[in-house]
């Protein structure tokens, strides 16, 4: 038995949406290498953009390739100290050819001072809250 190709459209006339995966957060060192203060900082950063540690994919890599990350179908990619080959604009929200996923590169959590935190917050607002 075969069905007409437009049967799904006739049966379900609602708009269909591509469901993205979780936000990927990249860090260059194992989680245990970070102090409680640095872990808390990441948690606060995520909470500020309505994310939680439990709701992200945390990857430990010193370098990453967007073509590899696209397998996760991420909602966004946030890098804290991990170099991403296709992105070289720190503290700027970059929309990539990776299915229009926003990628944001910042310094490692250990290196975020007040000035860099302000730059990060501006980029996060632009990337994830606008």
Residue stretches of the chain with pLDDT short of 50: none
CA dist 127 and 53 (Å) reads 18
pLDDT tens digit sequence for 50-74: 999 999 999 999 999 998 998 899 9
Angle at 81 between CA 80 and CA 87, to 5 degrees: 90
Given this model, what pLDDT does residue 16 score? 56
* CB distance 36 to 69 below 8 Å: no
Question: What pLDDT sits at residue 57?
Answer: 96
Predicted pLDDT of residue 86: 86
Per DSSP, 28 falls in state: S
Structural domains present in the chain: 19-128 (3.40.470.10)
């Amino acid at each position: 038995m075969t069905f007409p190709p437009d049967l799904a459209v006739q049966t379900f006339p609602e708009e269909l949406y591509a469901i993205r995966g979780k936000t990927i957060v990249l860090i260059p060192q194992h989680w245990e290498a970070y102090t409680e203060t640095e872990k808390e900082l990441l948690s606060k950063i995520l909470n500020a953009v309505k994310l939680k540690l439990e709701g992200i994919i945390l990857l430990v890599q010193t370098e990453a390739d967007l073509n590899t990350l696209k397998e996760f179908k991420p909602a966004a990619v946030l890098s804290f100290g991990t170099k991403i080959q296709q992105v070289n604009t720190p503290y700027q929200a970059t929309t990539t050819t990776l299915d229009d996923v926003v990628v944001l590169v910042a310094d490692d959590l250990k290196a975020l001072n007040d000035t860099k935190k302000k730059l990060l917050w501006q980029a996060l607002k632009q990337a994830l809250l606008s």
